Structure 1
């Protein structure tokens, strides 16, 4: 049985069809895969900050996280977003346990390199995999919010992609980034085609040539960074398409796989 870490971005959580959660439950029931969800919630954090009239500042496109902002981030991530996912899995017939990275020291954290500018933004220094393994063995689907904590009890807001990569690497798991696009799209002979696979070097070339641009850049960067964490394979796929996760789990071509090397770029 293999672990499959599924990263759900906060920007598409509201649009996820119930079929997506049914597919996650089907994966669990297959006995071949143990799905683990790591989620974000940036838009929800922004919305709550606005409702509470708390000023949000950004540096280099990243949110500056004071203790006040961190309180709201924890409310949004470990509360609203986390329990929404747990409820949807329950509706689909599964048993999910929502857990914060602070629970049991699941995600041990340290300040990120740019913490001096960004405040309480962290990165994962260690994952207590035994917590995840116990939940999985108990028949549950873990749903993890990316708030970490250090040995002094200081909390840190951790980028969801980074947290998912750290969890996947610690478990030797495959990692799927769920998006609202079918994968990496490039132009060939005047038409948009999806790449079935790409290496980090190939992705760098596509970014440099402008084939990968805009909002796709952070997605592919997150996948490449996952490989740097030690994840053997990361994939970007469309979570709005029913059956996409099951197709990937069966080994069929689904989305775009980001791999260390091996196969060359090719499209459908």
Structure 2
């Protein structure tokens, strides 16, 4: 009985961070130091990262054509080779190194490792190629690493049920699936903005503490949310699935932001269903 209780306690202490690869690699040392301190207190992060700009740069350098269809990268076998190389190789290991330099323990994984993420073709696969939707997450493998005090760093490349076909998976949907399978109700999206801003009656832009998905859609339609903020909030909304009830958008460069987000839930903007 005690063993089960302790496992439940550890499960509750895991939290999921979603971040772009370039954003996470550019964060200040204080962010990773704070991550280490929280891990020592029992709050162990599970990181799911992207890396779109680095993938595009590498594809261009290699002369491989790539385009986006409905926000998804059209993925051929040649493009997928680059996606896997950049995400599971370069970016994943850069993040692992930064975490370990802070004194914390980290393990880099892709969805192929230990069948961590299983996927099936998206409905419009005839348009986008080898892009997948998550069908299963090996939560036991993730939780085992968390229980040992390791920070799992996950690149969103998945395998089909047969274990042969690889799939390129959107990092936002992958993060939401990982969080849901771990039973995590709040997912933290680390960006370079403090949250969703709204201009008040005095003409001052202030961070919205709480906003619903419906309110965000209305703000996009009205033009209150515009430009580069639109993909950020849409990406955050993609993370709300399954057990995930809310997503917290925070600026990773702010001092103490991780503790506020994880332990207090008082930072940035909370997006709720």
Same fold (TM over 0.5): yes
Q: Choose from 8, 13, 19 the match for 1:2.
A: 13
C-alpha distance in structure 1 between counterparts of 2:263 and 2:243, whole Å: 22
Contact 2:107 2:151 in 1 (8 A): yes
C-alpha distance in structure 2 between counterparts of 1:126 and 1:252, whole Å: 28
What's the TM-score once normalised by structure 1's chain length? 0.92
SS of 1:228's equivalent in the other structure is coil
What's the TM-score once normalised by structure 2's chain length? 0.90
Contact 1:121 1:156 in 2 (8 A): yes
Q: In the superposition, relative to structure 1, how do residues 252 and 129 fare at CA in structure 2: closer, same or farther (>3 Å)?
A: closer
Trace 1:195-210 onto structure 2 (pairs within 5 A): 195-210=208-223
Structure 2: runs of 5+ lacking an equivalent: 1-11
Runs of 4+ in 1 over 6 A off after TM superposition: none
Range that drifts further, 47-56 or 152-161: 47-56
Q: Choose from 85, 108, 114 the match for 1:75.
A: 85
Structure 1: runs of 5+ lacking an equivalent: 261-268
Q: Alpha-carbon deviations, 1:180-218, whole Å to 9, x = none?
A: 000001122222111001111221221221111222222
**1:17 and 2:19 are equivalent in the alignment:** no
Trace 1:139-150 onto structure 2 (pairs within 5 A): 139-150=149-160
Match of 1:47 in 2: 57
Trace 1:130-145 onto structure 2 (pairs within 5 A): 130-145=140-155
Contact 1:3 1:172 in 2 (8 A): no
Q: Alpha-carbon deviations, 1:84-115, whole Å to 9, x = none?
A: 00000010000000011111111010111222
Contact 1:105 1:128 in 2 (8 A): yes
Paired residues, what number?
259
C-alpha distance in structure 2 between counterparts of 1:11 and 1:191, whole Å: 30
Higher normalized helix content (fraction of residues): 2
